[in-house]
Amino acid sequence: VTTMTTTEKGARTGKGRPLSPSDFAAIVGRLNRQSVEKRFEAYRDIDWDAPEMSLEHNSHLLELPEDDLLGRTEWYRSQPPEVRAAIGLERLATAAKTGLEFENVLMRGLLLFAYHRGNGDPSFRYIMHEISEECQHSMMFQELVDRSGLPIKGLPLPIKLLSHLVPLNALIFPELFFVFVLGGEDPIDYVQRRALRRQHNHPLIERIMRIHTMEEARHISFARHYLKHRVPHLPRWRRLRLAIITPFLLSAMAQLMLSPPRALIKRYGIPRNVVRQAYKSPEARAYVAESVSKIRALFEELGLITPFTRLLWRAAGLYQ
């Protein structure tokens, strides 16, 4: 999608060294230009009312694929087609709801972050682009939830309450905040890219995922480069805090986003052993670890993975 500039290539090869302010500014400038060239709007660029976009139409395309953790179980495959499609739709709608709740927390943090950018800082403009894109994503996801006609609840209340603390980090510990950003965006991106490689997606879902992955690529790029720019300058104890918190934060977030919705298990009476077989298997653990592997590689590059913190990544189930 993107062509790398020479500064960026140079910055990439300089392993472990901080990204200089001018290299960082050049990358943010490029992201700013791309944010104008390739952008989408929920109610302009998706033809919600086209017949082929209707969720009732071609609903067999909503079934979970055979390489899906639940989709490949004997139990799922033996369900009638309407049940398979209904389960597929409920899982999509739940993921969309979790996604927009995450984006809500994210946007609040980004606003706080932008509030403290000085004049002439290219990050200010970039952050505003990112917030506008997340606004469009949230409208797109909520429209999907509403069209599913399902009573999707979203995150449990204690987690919703806890999430109010996250945006504050954009002020007091922005590096941790951008790790949180990656923790939400990278696993979803991993899941969506995997889905887009398949042949038969429902046209509406395909459109939503294409728009989302295209724009998320920029968000992920900004967060990664921000960390490369800032983390090497952090005092040692802050680096240590970041290195210790991250594996557990990522594991909790990936778990929240990739594990099966409890409401769905209840509604369809999915047997306990099927849930265990699908989501507690070594394959499931490998899947979660794989979904955050790019963040782990970034942490390696930043020198934040030591023999001690590797143990933590292992304890969090993210190091196979």
Three-state SS for 233? helix
Nearer to Fe ion, 76 or 222 (CB): 222
* Among the listed residues 221, 211, 212, the one whose alpha carbon sits nearest the alpha carbon of residue 123: 221
What is the spatial distance between Cα 51 and Cα 245, in angstroms, rounded to a whole number? 47
Q: By the 8 A CB rule, do 296 and 314 touch?
A: no
Per DSSP, helices labelled H in the chain are: 6-13, 21-37, 74-77, 81-115, 122-148, 157-162, 169-172, 174-196, 203-230, 236-258, 262-267, 272-279, 282-291, 293-301, 307-315
Question: Closest distance between Fe ion and the C-beta of residue 237, in Å?
Answer: 30
Nearer to Fe ion, 180 or 287 (CB): 180
Nearer to Fe ion, 63 or 216 (CB): 216
Question: Closest distance between Fe ion and the C-beta of residue 219, in Å?
Answer: 3
Question: Closest distance between Fe ion and the C-beta of residue 223, in Å?
Answer: 9
Q: By the 8 A CB rule, do 288 and 251 touch?
A: yes
Nearer to Fe ion, 101 or 216 (CB): 216
Question: Closest distance between Fe ion and the C-beta of residue 294, in Å?
Answer: 15
The tokens 């990204």 sit on which residue? 19
Nearer to Fe ion, 69 or 95 (CB): 95
The tokens 């960026």 sit on which residue? 8
Question: Closest distance between Fe ion and the C-beta of residue 100, in Å?
Answer: 8
Vertex 179: Cα angle to 145 and 284 (nearest 5): 60
Q: Which positions touch Fe ion (CB under 5 A)?
A: 137, 216, 219
Question: Closest distance between Fe ion and the C-beta of residue 85, in Å?
Answer: 25
Q: By the 8 A CB rule, do 288 and 226 touch?
A: no
Question: Closest distance between Fe ion and the C-beta of residue 249, in Å?
Answer: 17
Nearer to Fe ion, 11 or 100 (CB): 100
Count CA atoms within 13 Å of residue 214 on its CB side.
16
What is the spatial distance between Cα 252 and Cα 272, in angstroms, rounded to a whole number? 21
Nearer to Fe ion, 59 or 142 (CB): 142
Nearer to Fe ion, 20 or 213 (CB): 213
For the packed helices 174-196 and 293-301, what is the interaxial angle rounded to 10 degrees?
A: 140
Question: Closest distance between Fe ion and the C-beta of residue 64, in Å?
Answer: 23
